[in-house]
Structure 1
Amino acid sequence: MSFSSKIVLITGASRGIGAATAIMFAKEGADVVIVGRNEEKLKEVEVECSKFGKKPLVITADLAKDEQVKGIVNKTIDAFGKLDILINNAGILKKNDIKSEGFIETFDEVMNTNLRASVLITNVAIPHLIKTRGNIINVSSVAATSTSVVNSVTYKVSKAALNHFTRCIALELAPHGIRANTVSPGPVETDIFETAGIPEALQNYSGQLPLKKVGKKEEVADLILFLASEKAQSITGANYVIDNGWLLN
């Protein structure tokens, strides 16, 4: 796959799946815009992307702030004049219990990052994606359709909503030649569980999955690149699961 003439914007690109996806797009010749809150981590990703001959545009931004989200798209257009591919990858996982006092505060925080930010940046990017007959890929989770893990209701609801949002915009944007799809990983070797305060979860999952392993971020990035490529030109409104059999349990 070659993306030598494509401009790719990736949120949550400072680590994990987002970083792996940015590096892989850079390897395939794309001009990459990497967005995140951790400036130091973004610089590390910038170094890796630059090894393939093109320096990425690095944007430090908080997706919970509307003006910063709008600025991400504006800076991309100012730098490259167009946008071909939008990867909404930013997301957070936080434990919360519907019975707890702080439930609504956590609910708002997770929904703002996992859903609202993706909706907003998509809305702002649409005029530019229409011009290029572009591509939207939203990174969701198998948690969107599973209730097997307790104390993560907000994360699951946010991802379920993201899945349905993707299907809805796929239909609305099809007349403009824009495709929109979702990738739903199962447990993946990233620091999301550690950040959520449950570092033991990843090791526990590896023995429970039918394929007896958790995913690698590069595997998810491979799938994202496939959906962004001409090989997937007839695929829209789909949800691609990559979970080592999680949903079979």
Structure 2
Amino acid sequence: MMDFTDKVVLITGASSGIGAAAAIYFSKQSAKLSLVGRKENNLRKIALYCEKSKGNKPLAITADLTDDGDIKRVIDETIDHYGKLDVLVNNAGIIGMGGIKNTTMETYDNIMATNLRSVFHLTMLATPHLIATKGCIVNTSCIASKKPSTMSLCYNMSKAALDQFTKCIALELAPDGVRVNSINPGFVKTNLLKDIGLSEEQLELFIKNVVGNMPLKKAVESDEVAALIGFLASNNAKSITGSCYIVDGGSILR
């Protein structure tokens, strides 16, 4: 197990899915958490669950990361509350379906605003604080950044750009002692697909098809991804920066 005692960890998209799993993981390692999400009730539930782990009460911040004012508020409230920042987990993201023939500029703008622009802005504001602590950044990307698809053009583009963002700022911040990596999950059963309107029946069929094509024949679990985030944020990974770690049941091989 890794110990994050006295480390301040800021996680976006913490109210569900991978973000919630990461919050729970870090809480078990005694981290001081700043949890950000859009869904206030979900966020409170996750924060309460985390508090029960080691008694550290997380700072829960309800925010819309497409709003510049909210992004600034996330950093300000975290620093006001804890006085520092050690780990930034840029996890919030959305998906949208469609290729060049059947997507819309609204879909493009929404996906880029959440998956890319908000990450850029939040990281920019967090950087001075991370330099002060020689902290680190973990970005949640996807194997979609590396595999072309006809189904989710804008999403794939946003994740490919996020991987390049990871590498560029890893290079820039290395002299400051700040490490930057990304995790690139394959299919993880979260609410992300429900959010685009798939019914329970469609979702089960999709999962069956996707998992059936995975060499390991199993969906990736959120807590597996959370453990990888935890490893990359820990001193066990002190020589790792600018890397994109795939966790996908072997999907990238096909």
Give the alignment's TM-score, normalised by structure 1: 0.97
Q: Which residue of 2 aligns with 1:60?
A: 62
The CA distance in 2 between the partners of 1:103 and 1:209, in whole Å, is: 31
Gap change, CA 1:10 and 1:220, over 3 Å in 2: same
Identity rate of aligned residues, in percent? Answer: 49
3-state SS, counterpart of residue 122 of structure 2: helix
The offset of 1:94, in angstroms, is 1.0
Give 3-state SS (helix, strand or coil) of 1:190's partner.
coil
| Match status 1:228 vs 2:230 | no
Q: Distance in 2 between matches of 1:232 and 1:35?
A: 25
Take 1:179 and 1:173, find their aligned partners in 2: how far apart are those partners? 7
Aligned partner of 1:219 in structure 2 is 224
> Corresponding residue for 1:114?
115
Deviation at 1:177, TM superposition (A): 0.1
Structure 1 spans left out of the alignment, 5+ residues: none
Q: Could you tell me which residue of structure 1 aligns to residue 174 of structure 2?
A: 174
* Contact 1:97–1:103, Cα closer than 8 Å, also in 2: no
Structure 2 unaligned blocks of 5 or more = none
CA contact (8 A) 1:163 1:182 kept: yes
Distance in 1 separating the partners of 2:44 and 2:111 = 25
Tell me which residue corresponds to 2:159: 159
Q: Aligned partner of 2:138: which letter?
A: I
Shift of 1:203: 2.8
| Moved >4 Å (runs of 4+) | none
| Alignment-derived partner of residue 97 in structure 2 | 95
2 CA distance for matches of 1:120 and 1:4? 27
Deviations 1:9-48 (A, max 9, x none): 0000000000000011011000011101000110110111
What residue number does 2:185 align with?
185
1:70 partnered with 2:72: yes
Alpha-carbon distance between aligned partners in 1 of 2:140 and 2:14, rounded to the nearest angstrom:
12
Does the residue aligned with 1:162 lie in a helix, a strand or coil? helix
Aligned equivalents of 1:85 and 1:233: distance in 2? 13
Quick one: distance in 2 between partners of 1:2 and 1:201?
A: 38
Contact 1:193 1:202 in 2 (8 A): no
Counterpart amino acid of residue 151 in structure 1: M
Q: What amino acid does structure 1 have at the position aligned with 2:183?
A: V
User: Separation in 2 of the partners of 1:219 and 1:189?
Assistant: 12
Residue by residue over 1:178-201, the C-alpha shift from the partner in whole angstroms, topping out at 9 and shown as x without a partner, is 000000000012111121234242
Q: Quote how far apart the aligned CAs of 1:5 are.
A: 1.3
Count of residues in Structure 1 that have an aligned counterpart in Structure 2 = 247
- Root-mean-square deviation (Å): 0.9
Deviation at 1:202, TM superposition (A): 2.3
TM-superposed deviation, 1:85: 0.1
